[in-house]
Amino acid sequence: MGVVQELESGNEWEYNGCVVPLDLYYEIETQTWLKVNEDGTVTMGLTDVGQVRAGRLLHARIKNVGKVIQKGKPVASLESGKWAGPINALVEGEVVERNEKILEQPDIINYDPYGEGWIVKMKPVDLQRDIKDLLYGKEAIEEMRKYIDEWDIICMRCT
């Protein structure tokens, strides 16, 4: 186990320096997150833990607006000096917006994975069906803690 430091404030949980906002849904295996927006769309991105494991991101590709993506299929791909891989859609739906900033400067994800480093917005076909497979709240915290301990991760921001 790494640095055993755990903090929980009103809207986020922190463990070994890794921040986990409590208002998001998570797929722990892929270290991706999903936020349900007021307009019915969803925003997706890579978690703090995911950006640490990937390393400083150098390249990003995101599917074009209007493209319909099946759940579990790549909606984007990211590449660092030590890792390259897909970011799979957590829901089935249409790409309605992509973060053009990360196409030019992918390491924004390293600095701000839950804010400016979001990857894509989608209009889901059946959000209630797809969201059942994701973790939220205390369940997400428990599984994230296990993942962080298993991989002995200490989060820090690239500078």
Q: Is 153 exposed, middle or buried (0-12, 13-18, 19+ CB in 10 A)?
A: buried
The pLDDT value recorded for residue 123 is 99
What H or E segment, with its residue span, contains residue 18?
A: strand 18-21
Class for the domain spanning 6-151:
mainly beta
Question: Which token pair is 53?
Answer: 């494991």
Please tell me the distance from the alpha carbon of residue 67 to that of residue 76, in angstroms, as a whole number: 12
Give the pTM. Answer: 0.92
The pLDDT value recorded for residue 16 is 93
Contact 117, 9 (CB under 8 A): no
CB atoms within 10 A of CB 37: 11
CB atoms within 10 A of CB 73: 12
According to DSSP, residue 63 is labeled P
* Spans of all domains in the chain: 6-151
Question: Which token pair is 34?
Answer: 């999903």
Nearest C-alpha neighbor of 45 from the set 100, 96, 90: 90
The pLDDT value recorded for residue 156 is 80
- Taking the chain (159 residues) in runs of 10, the rounded mean pLDDT of each run is 51 92 97 98 98 96 99 98 96 99 97 98 98 96 97 80
The pLDDT value recorded for residue 118 is 99
